[in-house]
Amino acid sequence: MTILQAIILGIVEGLTEFLPISSTAHLIITSDLLRIPSSDFLKTFEISIQLGAILAVVVLYWKKIWSSWSLIWKIGAAFIPTAILGLIFYKIIKTYLMDNLIVIASALLLGGVILIVFEKYYKPKEDKEDDLKTITYPQAIIIGLFQSLAMIPGVSRAAATIIGGLSLGIRRKTIVEFSFLLAIPTMLAATVLDVYKTPLTLTNQEILVWSIGFILSFITAIIGVKFLIKFIQKNNFIPFGWYRIVLGGAVLLWVLI
């Protein structure tokens, strides 16, 4: 992988990590477009540079994270389903799904349709308080189960958790911020598990390109987080649904034709 390719992937990761469009799908599609040869390093790179985006959340939400031990425990409760299922299905996902563009395109298409249909029929509960502290432990666990669907590349962790939260009656801004915070243990654990399962001896070049990807992921994720918070104040997720359908359809045509 070249430095230019690392720069592009880092930017793509940061801008897409917290949007309901699947950062993993975008990284894999972009890697394919850049003709980067598939390797254990590339797969680990695509997973681990998400730590840059997670660091952005830690920086932006540091005070809110440590303002309530109850919130920390709820994030932990939401993480448990993904941790268990991730351990069970890790090998299948990394071996058979991570490079499968048909699976990714199909997930993008289906996810886009679900987003649009959900938003068409979703009616927010105006009496709900817009505060992270209002999320209950049972709700946190259910949100974690929704997040587990994102182990399939193309599903989108953000989309799954947000739809799960909205379906439970949680306010839009609340579930979006909870999705940000839930990404911290989820992505950290995914990286640790991947490094443990696939230990790599990195060359100086690989360390350099990973560092570049990490730094750019961090910087652009801050932009992505601030954009999404501002966007949801006046909009729903239907535009993201159409974007997913267009991208998924284009990838499917590209693979099949």
> Nearest CA to 13 among 191, 204, 174?
191
DSSP state of 125: -
- Residue 221 pLDDT > 80: yes
Q: What's the angle, vertex CA 255, arms to CA 253 and CA 257, rounded to 5?
A: 60
Q: What's the angle, vertex CA 133, arms to CA 132 and CA 139, rounded to 5?
A: 80
Q: Find the range with the poorest average confidence among 18-27, 150-159, 189-198.
A: 189-198
pLDDT tier at 205 (50, 70, 90 boundaries)?
confident
pLDDT tier at 139 (50, 70, 90 boundaries)?
very high
Look at 26 and 97; give whichever has higher pLDDT: 26
- Residue 64 pLDDT > 90: no
Q: Which of 146-160, 203-217, 235-249 has the highest mean pLDDT?
A: 235-249
Tokens of 201: 């001896």
- Give 192's Cβ-side CA count (13 Å radius): 8
Average pLDDT over residues 216-225: 95
> At what angle are helices 101-121 and 157-167 packed, to 10 degrees?
30
Return the pLDDT at 126.
Answer: 62
**pTM, rounded to two decimals:** 0.89
**Helix, strand, coil percent content, the chain, rounded in steps of 5:** 80, 0, 20
CA distance 112 to 246: 9
Determine how many CB atoms are found less than 10 A away from the CB of residue 240: 24
- Residue 127 pLDDT > 70: no
Residue identified by tokens 């390719």 is 5
> Nearest CA to 216 among 6, 1, 11, 4?
11
Determine how many CB atoms are found less than 10 A away from the CB of residue 167: 14
Burial class (CB in 10 A: 0-12, 13-18, 19+), 204: exposed
Average pLDDT over residues 123-138: 78
Look at 205 and 12; give whichever has higher pLDDT: 12
Average pLDDT over residues 123-127: 69
The answer to whether 9 and 27 are in contact (CB under 8 A) is: yes
- Residue 253 pLDDT > 60: yes
**Domains of the chain, residue spans:** 3-256
CA distance 221 to 57: 8
Return the pLDDT at 1.
Answer: 85
Return the pLDDT at 129.
Answer: 64
Q: Considering the chain, what is the average pLDDT of its residues?
A: 89
CA distance 26 to 158: 14
pLDDT tier at 3 (50, 70, 90 boundaries)?
very high
The answer to whether 163 and 120 are in contact (CB under 8 A) is: no
- Residue 159 pLDDT > 80: yes
Q: What is the pLDDT of residues 72-114, one digit of tens each?
A: 999 999 999 999 988 888 778 777 777 789 999 999 999 999 9
